[in-house]
Amino acid sequence: MSTDWFEPIRAYCERNGPEFWAEPVNALTNGAFVLAGLLAARRALRPPSDGPCLALALLMGVVGIGSFLFHTLATRWSMLADVIPIALFIYGYFWLAMRRFLGLGVPAAAGALLAFLAFAFGLTPALDALAGRSVADLSNGSVDYLPAVLALLGVAGALLLPQGCAGAALRRGTGLRLLGVAGLFLLSLTARTLDRAACPGLPLGTHWAWHLLNAGVLYALVVIAARFRTRAPA
């Protein structure tokens, strides 16, 4: 059976019809990603310019545009425009974290990325099997971001391990900052998860808060990476 890429989707509390502006708050709060991307790009362009962080900053803007398309057009193809840039940011930042924060060589970083991809794609089916029902339905789709949370906590934990080498204080400080970002990420995921449950008492839902908080998460991640590069020992 072929997929109807123009099939309308009602995924969030605010939407009550197929109209373009049926989710005005969810749509307009995507501007936070664009603004955060511009601010992160300005940070990445400070001499010496940081190419990887600039690429991630530009991708933040694409995240905002893709999410805007989904919250206005609300079709299957626009859903892909929403989720693909987010996935690219997650895997791109993971690669940068392996190389920059943990200092892995290309082969080791590639192996870690492949392992992360396998874990990310296999986690939800495994949880579904354990729960005996769709965990994505239970979490309003937020379970898809659990691998990113775990990866962020893992990198932070690795940086917080005792180190006797130069740059130990920078690594520890970076680990603590990443832990703080992980906390903000969990808060944003809570807002995303509670959107449908909030409908009876809050017609706007809570998905808009996910946009605002997650824009802060992405901005902080890029700034942390840029700061690490400029302060790391040669």
What's residue 2's pLDDT? 64
What's residue 164's pLDDT? 65
Between 171 and 1, the more confident residue is 171
| Rounded Cα distance, 77 and 83, in Å | 10
pTM of the predicted model as reported, rounded to 2 decimal places:
0.96
With beta carbons less than 8 A apart as the criterion, state whether 63 and 40 touch.
no
Average pLDDT of the segment spanning 194-219: 96
What's residue 22's pLDDT? 96
Average pLDDT of the chain, as a whole number:
95
pLDDT at 99 over 90: yes
Concatenated DSSP letters of 111-127: HHHHHHHHHHHHHHHHH
The string of pLDDT tens digits covering residues 59-97 is 999 999 999 999 999 999 999 999 999 999 999 999 999
The string of pLDDT tens digits covering residues 4-41 is 888 888 899 999 898 999 999 999 999 999 999 999 99
The sign of the CA dihedral 124, 135, 75, 70 is: negative
DSSP 3-state percent helix, strand, coil across the chain (nearest 5): 70, 0, 25
Q: Which two tokens stand for residue 206?
A: 């809570």
